[in-house]
Every structure is written in C-alpha cells, then in structure tokens.
Amino acid sequence: MTPASVSDYRELARRRLPKIFFEYIDGGSYAEVTLRRNVADLEAIALRQRVMRDMTQLDMSVEVFGQKLSMPVGLAPVGMAGMYGRRGEVQASAAAAKVGVPFCLSTVGVCSVEEVASAGTPPWFQLYMLKDRGYMAELLARAKAAGCPVLVFTVDLPVPGARYRDVRSGFTGSSGLSGALNTAWQGVTHPAWLWDVWLHGRPHTLGSVVGAIPQSRSVTDFLGWIARNFDRSVTWADLDWVRKTWDGPIVIKGVLDPEDARDALRAGAQGIVVSNHGGRQLDGVRSSISALPAVVDAVGGELEVFLDGGVRSGLDVLKALALGARACFVGRAWAYALGAGGAPMIEKMLGTLRSELAVAMTLTGCNVAREANRALLDVAG
C-alpha cells in the first residue's frame, strides 16, 4: 500500500510491528474516551471556505524561540521510538531536520540525548521529573551540554495511566518465561521488524536514563523502574530547581485548565503545550482542541501556546492555528510513519501534512499561517 494519509501510515505500522509495540503506540488509558475525543472534536470543527482570492503565495513558516520552522508542526516526544524502527529517535530527528521542523526527544527514548544530538540537529528535550533529583540534575546538564535549545517539562504524569491494551497484549503485567516467550513469538512472526530493530537496532535500553538503573536488561525493566520513580510531590515551585541547571526556554506540557496555564506563566515558563498526553493518562477529560481556546484567552499573549493531541492532518493543524496555537506537535503520526518504514516515511508523512495544510490555507483564504485566526472557522457549521 502506498500511504496517502496518517491513517495509512497507521495501517502499515500495524502490519509491520509486533502487537505489543503497535498497541503501545496506538492505545490510550482506560476506555479510551479521551483518545477518541481528541480526534473527533478536531473533525467536528468546520473551516470557513472562501473563494476568488489571490492565493499564489503561501507562507507556512513560524518562528519559535528563535528557531524558524518551515511549517507550524513539530514531532512530539514519543517513548521507546527505537523499538519501532532501528535507532528510531535518530531517524526521527534526521527527518525533522531535513523538513525544517523541531524534534523533541523523550526522557524514555531508546537513543540517548548525546546520540541524537551527535547525529545532527540537537533536539528539544522532554523531561519527566523523577524522585532521584541528583540524576535529574545530571540529565538536565547533559541535555544542555548536547545543545538542546528547549526543555519540554511534562507535568501530567505523576503516575502512569492505566492502559488496558498493554495488559492485553502482554506488554505490561507479564514477566519471566511467559513474557520472554511472548516477546520471542512476536518477533518471529514479524521478520522485517526482527531484522531491522531486534537484531540491528541494539542496545534496547532507555539511553538517557540507563545510568540510573545499570542492572536493568530490557525496555520493560526500565519502564517499571521509571513508573516506580515518578515524583508525585512536584509543584510549580520545582521550576526554580530546574532553573538552577537549565537557563533556556521551558515549555510546560500537559496543561488543559486555564488556571494551570496562568500558574505556568507565574512560575516563569516561556510556553505551554495544551495536551492530555494523547489520551493516555486521565480518561474522561476534555480533548486538547476543546481546551485550547480558553487557555489561549488566559495566557496567549504572554506565552507560546502549542497543541498536542488528535492531530491527524494539515487541516487539523490549521484549525488549531485558528484557535490560537502557535504550532502543533504530532506524536502518533510520526510514530506510525517510523514503524511503517523509518525516516523516509516520516519525511513523507510530514510532506503530506504540508500539502494538506497548503490546500486548507488556499481554500480558506489564509496566505500566512502565523496570521490564522478564528475568522477561518465556520461557527455556524
């Protein structure tokens, strides 16, 4: 199949990846209500079609923290990407750099921050706050030394959400001989993945935190350790602790409530990502896109506001821009593309988003993406 949309990359990834990893990418928490809302609420927004305008020139560029993006899209942090494609985070970073958009490396990436940075453009770095503050300070110093320009501090994961698909697939909850046999069987039945990732994509560790847990041998060992070490005591005051090591821009990821957005501003953040963790944390909360307008109204003039969650097309990107987002971060979209065929597929997927955005801008009369506003939306639709 030649992929033409994000849903096509999803299908190719489903075919190629072992079930345990596809379900990990694709699933959400509990009954996945919020996961579905993220997509459905974006689909429900109507664009306002306009005609007979000179749309010869389109400008999709946007500047964020001194970095010029070719279009208002970035690759969101995705855990364990190195299990979906060989050294997956390095491939994603290379694809993003080639297209001219930012890549954000997850704390729980298979590739370390040094490996990704040394391969090309230093990534934005996403931080989970763990109980071991000494190691967190060391990790922040490493990200700074690697040249990472922006810190994305994820705050909606004091505990992991209950993701039932991962239990059913055997990704979590199985151990010992049964877990080993499940992994072995899934590898054998997916030979392309076995050759590309399992045999030639090692080491299968979480590169940025491997020093904190030297006795662990597998990705699931690392994830178990991290789940036990998420810090539930984190408050806005902890940004002062982060600032002792990090002097660059800080973006708070995981904000849905306007008051939390105001707290982020008061705490000294430079940006926020309106996000519900892709529907992977607290199920039953509102979609990211439905939360966006109130957050923008609360702080949009003083902070950079980004959207994450449910973005599956360039049309979705324009809808988010119209509601006040500076840019959108896509997670599952690039993870699907990576699983479907590595960096070339990620580049192709980003090209698809760009083409869709161009059509949407042309048919709504929006020549400049950064000037998008609510007048692009058909509120009666």
Provide the 10 A C-beta neighbour count for residue 235.
9
Active-site residue 190, yes or no?
no
Report the C-alpha gap between 356 and 175 in whole angstroms: 44
Token pair 């980004």: residue: 306
Q: Cis omega before residue 123 (within 30°)?
A: no
Residues contacting 239, CB < 8 A, separation 6+: 153, 250, 267, 268, 269
Q: Indicate which residue of 190, 200, 204, 277 is catalytic.
A: 277
Report the C-alpha gap between 276 and 253 in whole angstroms: 9
Backbone φ, ψ for residue 128 (5° rounding): -100, 135
| Cα dihedral 362, 366, 372, 378 sign | negative
DSSP 38-88: HHHHHHHPPB----S---S--B--EEETTEEESSSEEE---TTGGGTSTTH
Report the C-alpha gap between 106 and 304 in whole angstroms: 20
Amino acid at 352: T
Helix (H) or strand (E) holding 166: helix 164-169
Catalytic residues: 277
